[in-house]
Amino acid sequence: MTSTLLDKKIIRTVLVLLFWLIVWQLAAWATGQDIFLVSPITVIRTLFYQVQEVAFWSAVAYSFGRIASGFFLAIIAGVLLSVISAASGIARALLEPFFSVVKSIPVVSFIILVLVWVGNRNLSVVISFLMVLPVLYTNVLQGILETDQKLLEMAKVFRMSFRKRLYSIYIPQALPFFAAGCRLGLGLCWKSGIAAEVIGLPNGSIGEQLYQAKIFLSTGELFSWTLVIILVSYLFERLFLWLLRYAERCLIGRDAAT
């Protein structure tokens, strides 16, 4: 039964994708000018030639490494700061203005400021970090603060060690909030990171390739690089969430065993 439902879902997804590809192709034919709208066939052909070049994979590796670094740094800092804020009301009050400012300032303003401070080589790392950090901090903090008080009282009655409470209560309670923050942060880090590269133009980045395609009015390359960004972002998100679910299953199994 499950296999049948999965097959139907895959077929439906393929049909929906095929429908929009046909719409795209018809729109390209109606426009009749590649400079405004290229056909999907042209984009696939352009991408086919690009993947055969070393510079293509170098640009993908460059941007992926920096954007992913910013994302993972935001996870570490966000979890650490949320734990500190949950334990200390003073820390929470001190951090609240900072995160309010970070969330309210436009991404472009941040990009320009950070570009002046750190240069263009690590610009996408810092921007990805700053865009994801408030999301992770807010979600994890909420998860910790909403921990079931009855479970904590029970743990106190049975004199459970802090390590046992951490693995049995705090982490399972906060994990759904953490996962939700990661899902949102994964999209934000790629959008903001690529935008930072387009403005900062670090050599050998996807952002630089997008800018060059725009300068030379190469719409095919512009669309192909956009497709690459979508694919890399999607694969990174799927892999990370799969690892997160795997870690959650391991944690549950470990808790059950103990």
What is the arithmetic mean of pLDDT over 206-226? Answer: 91
What is the arithmetic mean of pLDDT over 45-49? Answer: 93
Q: What is the pTM of this model?
A: 0.88
Query: What is the distance between the alpha carbons of residues 51 and 88, in angstroms, rounded to a whole number?
Result: 51
Mean of the per-residue pLDDT values for the chain? 87
Q: Determine the straight-line distance between the first and last CA of the chain, rounded to whole angstroms.
A: 34
Report yes or no on 7 lying in a domain: no
Is the per-residue pLDDT at 2 higher than 90?
no
Query: What is the distance between the alpha carbons of residues 231 and 50, in angstroms, rounded to a whole number?
Result: 15
> What DSSP character marks residue 167?
I
Report yes or no on 198 lying in a domain: yes
Report yes or no on 182 lying in a domain: yes
| Residue 87, domain CATH | 1.10.3720.10
Report yes or no on 36 lying in a domain: no
Is the per-residue pLDDT at 74 higher than 80?
yes
List the single range of 140-154, 208-222, 223-237 with lowest mean pLDDT.
140-154
Tokens 């930072």 found at: 196
What is the arithmetic mean of pLDDT over 93-103? Answer: 90
Report yes or no on 34 lying in a domain: no
Is the per-residue pLDDT at 149 higher than 70?
no
What is the arithmetic mean of pLDDT over 202-222? Answer: 91
- Of residues 249 and 138, the one with the higher pLDDT is 138
Q: What percent of the chain has pLDDT over 90?
A: 50
State the angle between helix axes of 171-200 and 219-257 in degrees (0 to 180), rounded to the nearest 10.
160
- How many domains are there within the chain? 1
Note the pLDDT of residue 255: 55
Query: What is the distance between the alpha carbons of residues 152 and 147, in angstroms, rounded to a whole number?
Result: 8
Is the per-residue pLDDT at 4 higher than 80?
no
Note the pLDDT of residue 66: 95
Is the per-residue pLDDT at 162 higher than 70?
no
Instruction: Please report the sign of the dihedral spanned by the C-alpha atoms of residue 22, residue 24, residue 27, residue 28.
Output: negative
Residue 21's nearest CA partner among 29, 152, 249, 190 is 29
Q: How many CB atoms lie within 10 A of CB 131?
A: 26
Is the per-residue pLDDT at 53 higher than 90?
yes
List the single range of 34-43, 69-78, 148-157, 170-179 with lowest mean pLDDT.
148-157
Domain ranges, residue 93: 41-257
pLDDT band at 1 (very low <50, low <70, confident <90, very high): very low
Report yes or no on 206 lying in a domain: yes
Which ranges constitute the DSSP H helices of the chain? 2-31, 40-50, 54-87, 89-104, 107-118, 123-145, 149-157, 162-165, 171-200, 206-215, 219-257
Best mean pLDDT range from 4-18, 24-38, 140-154, 226-240: 226-240
pLDDT band at 13 (very low <50, low <70, confident <90, very high): confident
- Of residues 156 and 171, the one with the higher pLDDT is 171
Determine the distance from the C-alpha atom of residue 83 to the mean position of all C-alpha atoms in its chain, rounded to a whole number.
Answer: 22
Report yes or no on 106 lying in a domain: yes
pLDDT band at 254 (very low <50, low <70, confident <90, very high): low
Report yes or no on 30 lying in a domain: no
Note the pLDDT of residue 193: 94
